[in-house]
Chains A and B, each alone.
Chain A
Amino acid sequence: MSIKKNILITGATSGIGKALACLLVKDLNTCVYGIGRDEEKIQDLLGYENFIFLKFDLFKVEEIEELFKSSLGDIKFSGFVHCAGLEETLPIGLYTVDRVQQVFTVNVFSAIEIVRNLSKKKYSLDQASFILLSSVMGELGQPGKIGYCASKSALLGFARSLALELAKRKIRVNCVSPGIVDTPLTQKLFQQIEEENKSRIVGMHPIGIGEPNDVVYLIEYLLGDKSKWLTGQNIKIDGGYSIQ
């Protein structure tokens, strides 16, 4: 097996990240390194020779450097996709510093720490592509979503600065911001709200809510050479949700 591309994915055990890993492993010239906590959810992926599971809790940001040293020592990545994310509904009155810290740790700090390591020549190729999953909520607001919206906005700023810092190596950095996609994250969210509210949210997506692959094909494009002039952008993919 001659591996030409190594791609690192966080959140590879569920939803969008898992769907992306399932697509990428079909190309035997690509080796996918998937970070997650619960491998039970990806038994199908574990059978692939070109899929490597890294069981790691992203709350442990301070251990990320060691993860690179111990498990990714001589790998040069040509792509990184940060799909891991926490979504929660909590009004401001209940948002303690610890809770804010938690959501920012997984959604933002873990990505910054991974990229701090990944941006070294030792771990990445020139012309690599880094993609961060933000959300339409990175630019919009919703009651109860302070932690989520603030953290997704933070990713937008991070991506813009990073794109400039890494431009001299022609490494591209972009955000992908989906509307509601049918994944376990959405299923959990829908459980918490009333039927009426659910139909209202679905109805706000003019061409319906998305499937994981709708987003995955955009990520595939951003990972590839065809998007080599695209950097520092936030690409919304939301069935028309945010144009209203």
Chain B
Amino acid sequence: MNTAKFLELVRDELELDSDLHVSTNLKELDEWDSMAAMVLIGLVSNEFDVNLTGDDINSITTVQSLIEKIGTERFE
């Protein structure tokens, strides 16, 4: 997937008010909570067929770290 498209998708699904960049720390977003984590797991599963575990969610910080969890080769 195109990285810009991915950012837009995450921003849409998490209904973020602020801009989202690969360097944004997801955990520092006002909107970040357990529901947001659930949305992220569902989104990544739908789009990439990758199942993030609880431990993955724990270790994710920035969007870049999420992209690395999914696999950088899946992004252009």
Give every chain B residue within 8 A of A191 (Cβ-Cβ): 51, 53-54
Tell whether A194 pairs with B55 under 8 Å between CB atoms, given A89-B41, A89-B42, A143-B38.
yes
Give every chain A residue within 8 A of B58 (Cβ-Cβ): 194
Q: Does B13 contact A (CB under 8 A)?
A: yes
Q: Which of B42, B46, B53 has the largest count of A CB atoms less than 10 A from its CB?
A: B42
CB pair A91 B42 closer than 8 Å: yes
Tell whether A93 pairs with B41 under 8 Å between CB atoms, given A191-B53, A195-B54.
no
Q: Does A2 contact B (CB under 8 A)?
A: no
Q: Does A90 contact B (CB under 8 A)?
A: yes
B1-52 residues with Cβ-Cβ distance < 8 A to A are 13, 34-35, 38-39, 41-43, 46, 51-52
Interface SS majority for chain A: loop
CB pair B53 A143 closer than 8 Å: no
Chain A interface size band reads 10 to 19
A68-103 residues with Cβ-Cβ distance < 8 A to B are 89-91, 93-94
Contact check: which of A94, A193, A194, A195 meets B42 at CB < 8 Å? A94
Q: Cα distance A103–B55 when bound, in Å?
A: 26
CB pair B38 A91 closer than 8 Å: yes
CB pair A91 B39 closer than 8 Å: yes
CB pair A90 B42 closer than 8 Å: yes
Tell whether A91 pairs with B51 under 8 Å between CB atoms, given A192-B41, A194-B57, A194-B58.
no
Q: Cα distance A94–B57 when bound, in Å?
A: 18
Q: Does A197 contact B (CB under 8 A)?
A: yes
Q: Write the residues of chain A forming the contact surface with B, with a CB cutoff of 8 angstroms.
A: 89-91, 93-94, 143-144, 191-195, 197-198
A-B contact pairs, 23 of them (CB 8 A): A89-B42, A90-B42, A91-B35, A91-B38, A91-B42, A93-B39, A94-B46, A143-B34, A143-B38, A144-B42, A191-B51, A191-B54, A192-B41, A192-B52, A192-B53, A192-B54, A193-B53, A193-B54, A194-B58, A195-B54, A195-B55, A197-B54, A198-B54
